[in-house]
Structure 1
Amino acid sequence: MSNLAINQKTIATETTLKGVGLHTGKEVTLTFKPAPENHGFVFARVDLEGAPKIEADANYVINTQRGTVLEKFGVKIQTCEHVLAALVGMDLDNVLIELDSSEPPIMDGSSKFFVEAVEKAGIQEQEAEREEYIVKDVISYTDEETGSEITIIPSDEYQITTMVDFGTKVLGTQNASIKSLCEFKEEISHARTFSFLHELEALLEHGLIKGGDLNNAIVYVDKEISEYTVEKLKVAFNKDEISVKPNGILDNLTLHHPNEAARHKLLDVIGDLALIGTRIRGKVIANKPGHFVNTQFAKKLAKIIKLEKRNNVPTYDLNAKPLMDITQIMKMLPHRPPFLLVDKILELTDTRVVGVKNVTMNEPFFVGHFPGAPVMPGVLQIEAMAQTGGILVLSTVPDPENYLTYFMKMDNVKFKQQVLPGDTLTFKCDLVSPIRRGICHMQAYAYANGKLVSEAELMAQIVKVKN
């Protein structure tokens, strides 16, 4: 998670927009309301009994054909991505989004009006720190059917690059990028949704895009337009005349940018990845993105984050000067090589200790423990955790050299990964309850290569040595 503390943000006051839903054609009122810390983005259907809420969560995605649709307990929110993109783009964390219909207003097909509403409401910093997932490895998702692919790589900021190619002459190949979310408002928020003429015909046939008009969608004419289609479009869009501009766009809509389609796809990526539920620090590279691949990637990343959070892998600077080196450790612990299993102490407080052991091929136990395929014995990992915990308990007495630490019991011992020569083990021991009568009850974890390798609940007692 983040090293630099950034506080969470919400809006200062509530703000309301009105419009029509793109697919439903229904009049809808949307109200952004301030929300408490750790609330996230949550939709509320105020038109339904009890105003049921749906969190902006990738696990609620049920359909991605014409926008991202969320459903929880039978209650739906359609086309949520433009609203979510605006909230992320404006650097917010906690907002309640009230709707009196299933779909937010399409406005002009971009996030611009939602951004303006947020600016009007103002931004309020909150007390709690923002949780941020720092990408350390390359993570990818590919849709084999379409060839769409999203990859995220380590980066100092949340950055996005989108590349689109629909195999049509009218649109060609386009790409768009932002190096920081602070570019969203000026560069991306006003990029409007787009469609191809052949898609538009199909949507009209199925009674969809009831709220569409030529002011909220760019229509690329990718085929010969028939008189029959022209007449249907006139009726659908309530226009006396329909024409195709020289750049292949229907009617008189003027592009904000030659690559507006790629910019809108970038907007969609930001909105769909908001469904991860955690801020990301990494660079997203999306090749031919769409709502399906976006939301599948969001689900994958959310799962990885949840797993890492559960394992709670801490990050420490292993090159920093230790709090205690091996000489200082030997002054406190009675153990000596080859049975001294902690090399240095990085952190020591009243309730926590963090130690490190470098596992080398020279360890004496490798001679007999699977010599052909050396693996550190699990019991020695537990012993190493206990020795690290011994530092914590012995630091509470003025003369640690006069005490020995004895195991009383161990519970919930789990071994998750193999520990091999070359691994650096980090041990973290936290007190479960205060030390009483020299009895220490700890929850201990061992990590290597960014993963939890073993854990145990340990109880030990320090006993004064009789001279």
Structure 2
Amino acid sequence: MSNLVSKQRTIAKEVTLKGVGLHTGKDVTMTFKPADVNHGYAFMRVDLEGNPVIEADANYVTNTQRGTNLEKKGVKIQTSEHVLAALVGLEIDNVLIELDASEPPIMDGSAKYFVEALEKAGIVDQEADREEYIVRDVISYTDEETGSEITVIPAETYQVTTMVDFGTKVLGTQNATLKNLSEFKNEIADARTFSFLHELEMLLEHGLIKGGDLNNAIVYVDKELSTDTMEKLKVAFKKDSIAVKPNGILDNLTLHYPNEAARHKLLDVVGDLALTGTRIRGKVIANKPGHFVNTQFAKKLSKIIKIEKRNKVPSYDLHKEPLMDVTKIMNMLPHRPPFLLVDKILELSDKHVVGVKNVTMNEPFFAGHFPGAPVMPGVLQVEAMAQTGGILVLSTVPDPENYLTFFMKIDKVKFKQMVHPGDTLIFKLELLSPIRRGICHMQGYAYANGKLVTEAELMAQILKKKD
């Protein structure tokens, strides 16, 4: 499997589209704006006080009745999926989507116009590498009630297959497949949304498709078209006459593909799975997908990704010449054996440090800490972590030997695995905020045997030694 790292991407300049929301019927202006690295996708409601922002996150999904609807602190975004699908389909990572209403414009019911607008804005590479979740195990979600099921399996690229079966004469079983995101623009983006006549009647009765004229939805006629419904449709869609084509759809438009419904369902899957917040490398197989099952699967996947990210053990070559050996460490840190708990420094930048401690049986603390079942005390792991962090903060002054490092705060400490003699502890500390006045706020992780063993937030301060 190729592990080529690609760069994150955003758009070169902002671009605006106008239209109406399918369910609200309201005029809406939507602007795609470039965003910084690691921003991801987020919606901003510029029509509301304070311009609240809702990130495209599966945990904000509240309702999937007619599209995927997000809500954060009472602020709503409706029908987000087609816009998100366009962004994923063009492999754009960071964009802010400004809206002056709760729902993006429906346009023609597909993602085509969004793709065109984004391409017109231009797509540019950014400095940071793109994060990708590589699927190594089969992950699936089933909705018992409907029999809908989504599974992701390992694959070389992000692929999606959808299988739909509506059990009606007019629309039976259909499949669609996206083998590579590069096919999205030409094969999937222009597949339009659709509904059945029986759904349409219900929506009309409840006043739920104010913006839907017959140019942005394929209507499958799955029952006899009564005169009463015919009249209602004429009014709703501002048409003098309405008829059913031989292929069972209303005569308002022509299908782009015989399997346009399955392709649109695939478009929805791509948009809904954008809510995991991470690019996926794996093959998604969706049987009878719908917004509920898609977003439940996105929630499950994002939870798994978060846990894996947290427990992800960075790989370091322990045989490589270290950046600092123990002698160099002692030139910088005031600690001495048996209280010097770092043997090597492997990496050091202005924002992070990686250190190593080889835990041996002849550590003085093992003589008294459960001699029959030796375990390294957790507080000493935190101390070793802090000493590694001390190297980071002392590297910011020209004369580190004249300073001492003191703890100010230890927070959110978790001990996840025991550390035994023979283990090699790797400490990674990253700054949570820039160092100011010698105060350093760090997130620390300790790893051993390919697992996260300890994590903590540390705050330390360096002070000049008193003469």
TM-score range, shorter chain: 0.7 to 0.9
TM-superposition CA deviations, 1:305-361 (whole Å, max 9, x none): 55666x4x56533467433499x769988879xx99889764355775434578899
- Whether the 8 Å contact between 2:9 and 2:126 is mirrored in structure 1 is yes
- The separation in 1 between residues aligned to 2:115 and 2:189, in whole angstroms, is 7
Q: TM-score, normalised by structure 2?
A: 0.73
5 Å matches for 1:197-236?
Answer: 197-236=197-236
Alignment correspondent of 1:195: 195
Q: 1:331 to 1:320 in 2, by over 3 A?
A: closer
5 Å matches for 1:9-88?
Answer: 9-18=10-19, 20-26=20-26, 28-38=27-37, 39-46=39-46, 48=47, 50=49, 52-58=51-57, 59-72=59-72, 74-88=74-88
Q: 1:264 to 1:210 in 2, by over 3 A?
A: same
In terms of mean alpha carbon deviation, does 94-103 or 106-115 score higher? 94-103
1:323 aligns with one of 311, 321, 325: 321
- The separation in 2 between residues aligned to 1:6 and 1:89, in whole angstroms, is 16
In terms of mean alpha carbon deviation, does 210-219 or 182-191 score higher? 210-219
Q: 1:329 to 1:205 in 2, by over 3 A?
A: same
Residue type at the aligned position of 2:246: K
* CA shift for structure 1 position 143: 3.1
- Whether the 8 Å contact between 1:7 and 1:128 is mirrored in structure 2 is yes
- The separation in 1 between residues aligned to 2:451 and 2:160, in whole angstroms, is 25
Q: 1:303 to 1:11 in 2, by over 3 A?
A: farther
Q: 1:378 to 1:168 in 2, by over 3 A?
A: farther
TM-superposition CA deviations, 1:254-298 (whole Å, max 9, x none): 332232222111211222233344444444333322212223333
Asked if residue 129 in structure 1 is aligned to residue 128 in structure 2, the reply is yes
Alignment correspondent of 1:243: 244
Alignment correspondent of 1:6: 7
Alignment correspondent of 2:465: none
- The separation in 2 between residues aligned to 1:176 and 1:370, in whole angstroms, is 63
Q: 1:347 to 1:101 in 2, by over 3 A?
A: closer
Structure 1: segments with no counterpart, 5+ residues: 397-402, 462-467
5 Å matches for 1:377-396?
Answer: 377-379=377-379, 381-382=381-382, 385=385
* CA shift for structure 1 position 6: 0.8
- SS of 2:36's equivalent? coil
Residue type at the aligned position of 2:89: G
Between the two proteins, the alignment pairs up a number of residues equal to: 446
Q: 1:72 to 1:415 in 2, by over 3 A?
A: closer
Residue type at the aligned position of 1:21: G
5 Å matches for 1:257-272?
Answer: 257-272=257-272
- Whether the 8 Å contact between 2:15 and 2:117 is mirrored in structure 1 is no
- SS of 1:446's equivalent? strand
Q: 1:53 to 1:155 in 2, by over 3 A?
A: farther
- The separation in 2 between residues aligned to 1:194 and 1:172, in whole angstroms, is 14
Residue type at the aligned position of 1:15: T
Alignment correspondent of 1:298: 298
Q: What percent of counterpart residues are identical? A: 61
* CA shift for structure 1 position 66: 0.7
- Whether the 8 Å contact between 2:150 and 2:294 is mirrored in structure 1 is yes
- The separation in 2 between residues aligned to 1:386 and 1:53, in whole angstroms, is 38
5 Å matches for 1:345-424?
Answer: 346-348=346-348, 352-355=352-355, 369=370, 377-379=377-379, 381-382=381-382, 385=385, 412=410, 414-419=413-418
Structure 2: segments with no counterpart, 5+ residues: 331-335, 463-467
- SS of 1:216's equivalent? coil
- SS of 1:164's equivalent? strand
* CA shift for structure 1 position 205: 2.2
- The separation in 2 between residues aligned to 1:285 and 1:384, in whole angstroms, is 46
* CA shift for structure 1 position 239: 4.5
* CA shift for structure 1 position 86: 1.6
- SS of 1:176's equivalent? strand
- Whether the 8 Å contact between 1:150 and 1:286 is mirrored in structure 2 is yes
In terms of mean alpha carbon deviation, does 53-62 or 256-265 score higher? 53-62
Alignment correspondent of 1:92: 92
* CA shift for structure 1 position 383: 6.4
- The separation in 2 between residues aligned to 1:450 and 1:136, in whole angstroms, is 19
5 Å matches for 1:452-463?
Answer: 453-455=454-456, 457=458
Asked if residue 111 in structure 1 is aligned to residue 98 in structure 2, the reply is no
Q: TM-score, normalised by structure 1?
A: 0.73
Q: 1:225 to 1:381 in 2, by over 3 A?
A: same
Asked if residue 275 in structure 1 is aligned to residue 275 in structure 2, the reply is yes
TM-superposition CA deviations, 1:203-259 (whole Å, max 9, x none): 22222223323332222333444454445444443241311424x333364332232
Alignment correspondent of 1:181: 181
Q: 1:155 to 1:458 in 2, by over 3 A?
A: farther
- Whether the 8 Å contact between 2:8 and 2:94 is mirrored in structure 1 is no
- Whether the 8 Å contact between 2:14 and 2:34 is mirrored in structure 1 is no
- The separation in 2 between residues aligned to 1:235 and 1:393, in whole angstroms, is 71
In terms of mean alpha carbon deviation, does 59-68 or 184-193 score higher? 59-68
- Whether the 8 Å contact between 1:322 and 1:344 is mirrored in structure 2 is no
- Whether the 8 Å contact between 1:382 and 1:456 is mirrored in structure 2 is no
* CA shift for structure 1 position 362: 13
- SS of 1:204's equivalent? helix
Alignment correspondent of 1:145: 145
